[in-house]
């Protein structure tokens, strides 16, 4: 029997271009026992799925030899049974993908992660292989990349220093050539070598590890070849421009990385811990689950938790982009990084610092960035053949015209070397991951969490969306919609009904008590209260016998007039739950309640319909209630469905050629979420949501489904622009080089310039419009 696989994650510093990721990927795959690997340039992370016997120290040493710094992010995660998809590493291997059926209490989706199994970090099991900390210090000079922390100042990086040194040497060589022309070629050769030595060392290391066709190899051949044919000035210029381009890539990659990492800066560094009577300031990262903290008005919350005392408006905009502060009181969940409004709160910590909502969002996005989109996989495969093909073309251009047509050797070797530089695949390879990473980061900042490039790419292709009703299209809690007066006034009816419901935790009772409080109606005390199973409740209020229950039970007690019955039936036809109040043997009035649609549901559905998307409500609720909500929202309704019925309907839509998204609360929709092309979980929980579904909408706006599809379309549009830039520039310079219009240094601009343009174009997605 095959041993179960393990999973280890690493922070890789100095990786800031696509060819870096490809080199690391290729080297790691050759290591014994490595089953799969995911590398993200933007997140600066690497996830390795491997056998328990894999020598991780040796793997780290090899990657360090390529010029990167490799540090473990966490200990290897326990057994990962052979997953079905090649990029299962990217999301939830400990959690089993998306087929979990969570029987959580509806409405309590714990974002804090304190239930049962810890799937916040794939690897907090304590069994690090011995080699994990034994890798040698990185050879910082071997790779012109920044080995500082990912948040280092750009002009202090090793790459910036190398670029500056090469630039100074080039200027000095230019001056020498100006004043002492005979020494010019030697000065330019020396300037070229200052920049080329670290590049050549990386080329040799890559070649030794089985990758002869890297950008460093092409650069080294071109620069040395140029010196041999007497073009040392251009050789020095090419090396300097290459280093400038690489440095700019590093700056751009750092910006994309900082975009999502900046979320972690929202969490304050200190917290007020309430222990032994007096509060004291402690580091926020030292807080443990169960600690009690005090949060003053205007302070940011240092941890996820549950409010024990106090009520305040919580501004969640920094974390979710939700513009309106949310009123929260005792037992409500609050999240790290949000801002406490107008009152002091006592909060019990429900998640450690490494496991709070923001830390998990950042981690989920980083893992998602490692998961490759289909387009990215295709371009990776394409580039493996593209670069060797260009080397062959360059060799033919250099050799064939002089041999066959008697052309001058210097001229055609020069053109061959220029074509070699044009063949660098960097711009092409980074075109997709740069846009995908920027799209995922933008989504996360808007409360749209997508589990990887494939999901982001697929979201724009959706043609039908199936919504759950309760908690998705509706708020998930009933509200009083009508207070009908018969023999008593509306406020009296509400007061007596509230008196009977006082102390009950039933959702309908809470709705009535909430409405009474909102309307400022005083609730009289009730005595001798008694529940009548399936019918209602009776009690004595101010010496009067009062009954509050279903219309059918009320009709058994007193005769309702034809007009009253008509009114009650009309309310029922609207999908409302109607209860009748009887006081002293007379029908006093009635109260109608309904789980009302979310405020933005109608507009969100209209947006989808306007875009030509088919919308459908799939619910297990009774037909009358479902159709009442359906009429309000103008959506086709399928009611009284079991989970397997929802799954069957999704299958039927797919058979008709629809690309189907299923939007549910991620709790008991598992079969349907798994069956859909894309499962989207609705609500404020990252745990349940992201285990069960492919994507999650954190703040429950129906309109965010359209926003997610729009983000996908803009990202794919950006990728198409990037491919045009990358291939277009190469095609133009290929022609102009062969014709003899452009030479070596414009050729390096065709690659480096294209890479910088592609990365900057992708970063435009980070400035995407926020939630309206």
Catalytically active residues, by annotation: 468
Distances (CA, A) of 278 to 309, 596, 610, 668: 16, 45, 58, 44
The answer to whether the beta carbons of residues 305 and 348 sit under 8 Å apart is yes
* Alpha-carbon span 687 to 102, nearest angstrom: 10
* Alpha-carbon span 621 to 473, nearest angstrom: 13
Question: What is the DSSP annotation of 742-771?
Answer: --HHHHHIIIIIHHHHHHHHHHGGGG----
The answer to whether the beta carbons of residues 763 and 742 sit under 8 Å apart is no
Closest by CA position to 67, among listed 136, 147, 150: 147
The answer to whether the beta carbons of residues 34 and 59 sit under 8 Å apart is yes
* Alpha-carbon span 569 to 64, nearest angstrom: 75
* Alpha-carbon span 6 to 363, nearest angstrom: 18
Instruction: Name the pairing type of β-strands 292-295 and 345-349.
Output: antiparallel
Q: Looking up tokens 């405020």, which residue turns up?
A: 599
- By CB atoms closer than 10 A (0-12, 13-18, 19+), residue 344 is middle
Helical spans, DSSP H, in 406-561: 409-422, 426-445, 453-459, 490-501, 507-519, 551-557
Question: What is the token pair recorded at 724?
Answer: 């045009």
* Alpha-carbon span 313 to 297, nearest angstrom: 10
Please name the residues in contact with 505: beta carbons below 8 A apart, sequence gap of 6 or more: none
In the sheet with 614-618, reading across from the earlier edge strand, the strands are: 448-450, 695-697, 678-682, 660-664, 464-467, 614-618, 636-638
Please name the residues in contact with 309: beta carbons below 8 A apart, sequence gap of 6 or more: 330, 345, 346
Instruction: Name the pairing type of β-strands 474-485 and 464-467.
Output: unpaired
Question: What is the DSSP annotation of 560-596?
Answer: PPHHHHHHHHHHHHTT-EEEEEEETTEEEEEEEEEEE
Closest by CA position to 768, among listed 479, 442, 461, 396: 442
Between the CA atoms of 208, 212, 216 and 219, what dihedral angle is there, to the nearest 10 degrees? 130
* Distant-in-sequence contacts of 677-682, Cβ < 8 A, 24+ apart: 677/458, 677/461, 677/462, 678/455, 678/458, 678/459, 678/462, 679/98, 680/705, 680/708, 682/468, 682/471, 682/472
State the first-to-last Cα distance of the chain, in angstroms, to the nearest integer: 54
* Alpha-carbon span 512 to 731, nearest angstrom: 71
Closest by CA position to 527, among listed 539, 543, 542, 509: 539
Collapsed DSSP state (helix, strand, coil) of residue 280:
strand
């Amino acid at each position: 029997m095959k041993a179960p696989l393990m999973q280890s994650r690493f922070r890789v510093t100095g990786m800031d271009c696509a060819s870096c990721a490809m080199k690391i990927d290729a080297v790691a795959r050759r290591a014994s026992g490595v089953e799969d690997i995911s590398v993200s340039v933007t997140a600066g992370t690497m996830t390795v799925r491997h056998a328990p016997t894999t020598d991780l120290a040796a793997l780290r040493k090899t990657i360090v030899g390529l010029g990167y710094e490799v540090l473990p992010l966490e200990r290897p995660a326990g057994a990962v049974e052979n997953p079905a998809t090649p990029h299962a590493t990217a999301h939830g291997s400990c959690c089993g993908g998306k087929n979990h059926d969570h029987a959580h209490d509806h409405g309590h989706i714990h974002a804090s992660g304190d239930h049962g199994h810890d799937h916040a970090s794939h690897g907090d099991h304590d069994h690090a292989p011995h080699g994990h900390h034994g890798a040698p210090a990185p050879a910082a000079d071997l790779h012109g990349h920044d080995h500082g922390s990912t948040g280092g100042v750009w002009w202090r990086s090793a790459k910036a220093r190398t670029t500056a040194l090469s630039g100074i040497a080039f200027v000095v060589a230019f001056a020498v050539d100006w004043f002492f022309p005979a020494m010019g070629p030697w000065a330019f050769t020396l300037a070229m070598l200052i920049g080329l030595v670290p590049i050549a060392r990386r080329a040799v290391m890559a070649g030794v590890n089985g990758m002869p066709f890297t950008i460093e190899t092409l650069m080294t051949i071109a620069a040395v070849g140029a010196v041999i044919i007497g073009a040392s000035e251009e050789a020095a210029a090419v090396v300097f421009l290459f280093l400038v381009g690489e440095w700019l890539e590093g700056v751009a990659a750092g910006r994309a990385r900082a975009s999502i990492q900046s979320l972690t800066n929202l969490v304050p560094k200190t917290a007020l811990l309430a222990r032994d009577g007096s509060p004291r300031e402690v580091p926020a990262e030292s807080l443990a689950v169960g600690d009690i903290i005090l949060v003053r008005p205007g302070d940011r919350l240092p941890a996820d938790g549950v409010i024990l005392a106090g009520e305040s408006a919580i501004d969640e905009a920094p974390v979710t982009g939700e513009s309106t502060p949310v009123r929260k009181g005792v037992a409500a969940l609050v999240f790290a990084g949000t801002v406490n409004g107008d009152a002091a709160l006592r909060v019990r910590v429900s998640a450690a610092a490494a496991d709070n909502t923001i830390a998990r969002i950042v981690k989920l996005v980083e893992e998602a960035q490692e998961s490759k989109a289909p387009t990215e996989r295709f371009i990776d495969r394409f580039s493996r053949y593209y670069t060797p093909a260009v080397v062959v073309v360059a060799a033919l251009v250099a050799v064939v015209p002089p041999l066959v047509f008697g052309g001058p050797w210097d001229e055609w070797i020069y053109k061959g070397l220029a074509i070699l530089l044009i063949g660098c695949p960097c711009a092409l390879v980074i075109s997709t991951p740069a846009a995908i990473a920027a799209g995922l980061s933008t989504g996360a900042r808007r409360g749209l969490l997508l589990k990887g490039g494939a999901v982001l790419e697929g979201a724009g292709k959706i043609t039908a969306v199936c919504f759950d009703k309760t908690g998705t299209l509706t708020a998930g809690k009933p509200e009083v919609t009508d207070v009908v007066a018969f023999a008593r006034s509306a406020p009296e009816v509400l007061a007596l009904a509230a008196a009977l419901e006082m102390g009950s935790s039933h959702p309908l009772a809470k709705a009535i008590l909430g409405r009474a409080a909102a309307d400022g109606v005083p609730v009289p005390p009730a005595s001798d209260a008694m529940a009548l199973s399936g019918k209602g409740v009776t009690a004595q209020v101010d010496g009067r016998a009062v009954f509050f229950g279903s219309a059918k039970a009320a009709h058994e007690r007193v005769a309702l007039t034809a007009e009253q019955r008509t009114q009650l039936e009309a309310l029922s036809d609207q999908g409302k739950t109607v209860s009748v109040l009887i006081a002293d043997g007379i029908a006093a009035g009635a109260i109608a309640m309904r789980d009302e649609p979310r405020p933005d549901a109608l507009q969100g559905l209209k947006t989808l319909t306007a875009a030509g998307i088919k919308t459908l409500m799939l619910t297990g609720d009774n037909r009358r209630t479902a159709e009442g909500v359906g009429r309000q929202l103008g959506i086709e309704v399928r009611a009284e469905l079991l989970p397997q019925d929802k799954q069957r309907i999704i299958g039927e839509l797919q058979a008709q050629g629809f690309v189907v998204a299923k939007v549910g609360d991620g709790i008991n929709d598992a079969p349907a979420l798994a069956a859909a092309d894309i499962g989207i979980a609705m609500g404020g929980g990252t745990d349940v949501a992201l285990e069960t579904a492919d994507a999650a909408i954190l703040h429950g706006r129906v309109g965010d489904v359209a926003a997610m599809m729009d983000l996908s379309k803009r990202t794919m549009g950006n990728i198409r622009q990037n491919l045009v830039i990358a291939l277009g520039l190469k095609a133009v310079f290929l022609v102009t080089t062969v014709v003899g219009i452009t030479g070596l240094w414009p050729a390096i601009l065709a690659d480096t310039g294209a890479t910088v343009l592609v990365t900057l174009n992708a970063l435009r997605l980070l400035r995407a419009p926020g939630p309206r």
